[in-house]
Structure 1
Amino acid sequence: MALLALFLLSIIVCAASAQEPCPVICTLDYRPVCATDGGETRTFGNACALRSENCLRRKNFRKLNDGECPK
């Protein structure tokens, strides 16, 4: 029984570590996207920059629209 529990735990750990890495290198193409996390609204340089921010900083920005956010 303990062996089965250890086996299941190792499968869970392997599955969790198999997640895709954060996109760290994004192109400098300026294709702005407006996004919000429910409190803050920000313009990101492109969709990759938005995904990178969410992944690296554990944020939850969601794209509102293409283009810069209104000021």
Structure 2
Amino acid sequence: MFMLKIWLLIAYFACNILTVLGADNNCPMPCPHIMEPVCASDGEEFRSFSNRCLLRAYNECERERDREAFGEVDSNNCEDQQWL
């Protein structure tokens, strides 16, 4: 259990360091498999992400460049949405 916590912390910090450094191509972005639900919107639609790192990864690696980035919003907006 202790090693799992260490691994998750390393994965979390690796994700944040890549974001801060602004690496030209940090895709695919490593994210921990932690369920900490995040509701986000790009101004047109709402989406649910399993955690904040996956939200950042979607914005950096999968989002169409002509669309606004998804930003975190109140979780009540995503109750019946599909998880990403």
Same fold (TM over 0.5): yes
* TM-score class normalised by the smaller sequence: 0.5 to 0.7
Q: Which has the higher helix share?
A: 2
**Are 1:35 and 2:40 counterparts?**
yes
Aligned length, in residue pairs: 54
Q: Which structure 2 segments of 5+ residues have no match?
A: 1-20
Separation of aligned partners in 1, 2:77 and 2:34: 14
Q: Tell me the TM-score normalised to structure 1 length.
A: 0.61
Runs of 4 or more above 2 Å deviation: 18-23, 65-68
Match of 2:73 among 47, 59, 64: 64
Instruction: Tell me, in whole angstroms, the C-alpha distance in 2 between the residues paired with 1:36 and 1:70.
Output: 13
Gaps of 5+ in 1: 1-17
**What is the percentage of aligned positions where both structures have the same residue?**
37
RMSD: 2.5
Q: Which has the higher strand share?
A: 1
| TM-score between the two structures when normalised by the length of structure 2 | 0.53
